[in-house]
Chain A
Amino acid sequence: GAGVSQTPSNKVTEKGKYVELRCDPISGHTALYWYRQSLGQGPEFLIYFQGTGAADDSGLPNDRFFAVRPEGSVSTLKIQRTERGDSAVYLCASSPIVSGLDEQFFGPGTRLTVL
């Protein structure tokens, strides 16, 4: 079946602009995660959803970052007033139930470049 998909694959924007990154998880997966991978680093947790609700958003760096999952499937990560330091690959992952013991299936990521 289809894996996790993310759009766009690449996004170039200017400092101060607003961006939206989309994630389509594997159908039926309850849990959805967002991670950010900066150059030379491992993925860093941002937020995860259990169904429609954000169960843990402790990884969001500041209030410019926000994510939604209104119908418990597709999720959108929103970044306001982008800064050059936001440049990174944003990874989305999903898993069948909410448990760290379930394999998380990752999408290919969205590469965000803020000029």
Chain B
Amino acid sequence: DQQVKQNSPSLSVQEGRISILNCDYTNSMFDYFLWYKKYPAEGPTFLISISSIKDKNEDGRFTVFLNKSAKHLSLHIVPSQPGDSAVYFCAAIVGGSQGNLIFGKGTKLSVKP
């Protein structure tokens, strides 16, 4: 069973609008969540993270929201730019698990000019 789920395989957004990528998880032991971005033929690159003791973390155009009771997090990109087009992976980790990231399947974001 997948512990981290990204149910939307793809998302298309107009440039300048908001992109919202969603992620659900099942393991209540997860206490740290990360978003990675991946371009074709490149490795994933870290984008933003959030600890389970917070419900929001913001970094420039990127904001991650965490709803622990719903076991749901989302990544908001405002405003979306064509260069944001990539696959976005949600990942989670259990505190003290020594680095083992559990990834979702990813959501492919296309930002159209």
Give the dominant DSSP class at B's interface. loop
Residues of B70-113 whose CB lies within 8 A of A = 89, 91, 93-95, 97-106
Pairwise interchain contact B99-A109, C-beta atoms closer than 8 A: no
Closest chain A CB from B50 CB (angstroms): 11
Stretch at the interface among A13-21, A41-49, A75-83: A41-49
Closest chain A CB from B14 CB (angstroms): 26
Q: Mark A57-85, 1 if CB is under 8 A from B, else 0.
A: 01100000000000000000000000000
Pairwise interchain contact A45-B100, C-beta atoms closer than 8 A: yes
Docked complex Cα distance between A92 and B102 (Å):
15
Pairwise interchain contact B46-A43, C-beta atoms closer than 8 A: no
Closest chain B CB from A43 CB (angstroms): 5
Q: Mark B21-49, 1 if CB is under 8 A from A, else 0.
A: 00000000000100010000111111000
* A56 in contact with B42 given A42-B89, A101-B32 (CB within 8 Å): no
Query: How many residues of chain A have a CB within 8 Å of chain B?
Result: 31
Closest chain B CB from A29 CB (angstroms): 11
Can you identify 6 A-B contacts, CB atoms within 8 angstroms? A31-B99, A40-B105, A45-B100, A93-B43, A106-B36, A108-B42
Please name 20 further chain A to chain B contacts, defined as beta carbons within 8 Å, in addition to the given A42-B104, A98-B99, A100-B99, sorted by A numbering.
A35-B103, A41-B105, A42-B4, A42-B89, A42-B91, A43-B101, A45-B100, A45-B102, A56-B98, A56-B99, A56-B100, A58-B100, A59-B100, A91-B43, A91-B44, A100-B95, A100-B97, A101-B93, A104-B99, A105-B46
Residues of A within 8 A of B (CB): 4, 31, 33, 35, 40-45, 48, 50, 55-56, 58-59, 91, 93, 95, 98-109
Residues of B within 8 A of A (CB): 4, 6, 32, 36, 41-46, 89, 91, 93-95, 97-106
The 7 A-B residue pairs with the shortest CB-CB distance in the complex, in nearest-first order? A106-B43, A42-B103, A100-B93, A103-B46, A100-B99, A45-B100, A43-B103
